[in-house]
Amino acid sequence: MLQNGNGKEKAPKAEEEETDSPTAVNPAQPQQCAPPAADKKDAEPTHFSMPTYPKLDIKRNAVTDDYKISSQVLGLGINGKVLECYNKKTGQKCALKILYDSPKARREVELHWRVSGGPYIVRILSLYENMHHGKKCLLIIMECMEGGELFSRIQARGDQAFTEKEASEIMRDIGTAIEYLHNINIAHRDIKPENLLYTIKERNGVLKLTDFGFAKETTLHNPLQTPCYTPYYVAPEVLGPEKYDKSCDMWSLGVIMYILLCGFPPFYSNTGQAISPGMKRRIRMGQYEFPKPEWSEVSQEAKDLIHQLLKTDPNERMTITQFMNHPWINQSMVVPSTPLHTTRVLTEDREMWEDVKEEMTSALATMRVDYDQVKIKDLDTSSNPLLNKRRKRAAAGAKSGSTVCQSQ
């Protein structure tokens, strides 16, 4: 049973948001920095003023006074599980994340609270400090993201085509969230599909970024130095002892964009390890391809943007400002509505994709990877099991006279 905290006076209660409106009252939202409407699709770069941050408003009464907590697990973050809960007064469905109190947990709560009012970022509604099994815990009440993960949503489209133009719009939304973070010197450091969730299942659902367990402030005096990350979306500089900064988020954007446009990642582990030695080598060398037929109809502008995001030298990698100003993102060019192979590939390789996510979850549990202990072994394109599986299927289809790849 969760109990109230240390018996000290309560912090002033924050008004909880009951709507998804970005203008609703939120104590975590910097008052000088109103985010743009979630559905605003202008071509101009977004500008954010430097906000001032309110002090953490942590309630010390038992969370069960205000919320009915379900045993339904909504997800697993790197620092704790997320449960379904309901506001007793309003009936609003929310998400509850429970963290054992620690400096790392405090950092996660502080940074997520600070950016909670930002565009395309999951909002914190309330914070609690309670005792659980004799240990002090931090409890984060967040908006419930009922629309599911980014790629699960694309998988669920079935025969409905997913287009390059839609991929551009998704990347612009993700970029807007990262732009907000980077403009206030925060790096997320774990941008991956599982941390990109939709508010609702309907088509008008808003994609938002969550899980700030690896987030850190980045300043000239405090560069990121901790090699903790999620495989498949990790920048090459994180794999070595070099210092790294917000540019590692840009690398992750490149990997997500690559998957959106074809359905499989540019780098893949084939050894059962969360991050294979060969995959590590390919990441460091920036070795990836745009194989046919999945990339045959993708625009050159999209490929050029990926090249700029997946630069191995972080000093050469584009910044978030350059990303948001790129014609493919701000749509100053006409992004083609070309049907992509993404939905088909994600559906056909659903089992393989789930294996990838399981490996990533296992890696997250370790919190860190000692890169000096990773043995290097070559990995070439032919040993990529996702590509191999499709090539074999295509060959079998050709022999039988069937058409395997149908993007139209």
- Give the active site residues: 190
Neighbours of 275 (CB within 10 A): 23
> Closest by alpha carbon to 214, among 231, 236, 189?
189
DSSP run (H or E) holding 86: strand 81-87
| CA distances to 27, 67, 68 from 19, in Å | 14, 17, 19
Binding-site residue numbers for ATP are: 97
Binding-site residue numbers are: 97
| CA distances to 45, 155, 169, 324, 327 from 332, in Å | 11, 29, 12, 11, 5
**What is the Cα–Cα distance from 359 to 363, expressed in whole angstroms?**
6
52 and 32 Cβ atoms separated by less than 8 Å: yes
Structure token pair of residue 360: 């990533």
Phi, psi at 89, each rounded to 5° = -80, -40
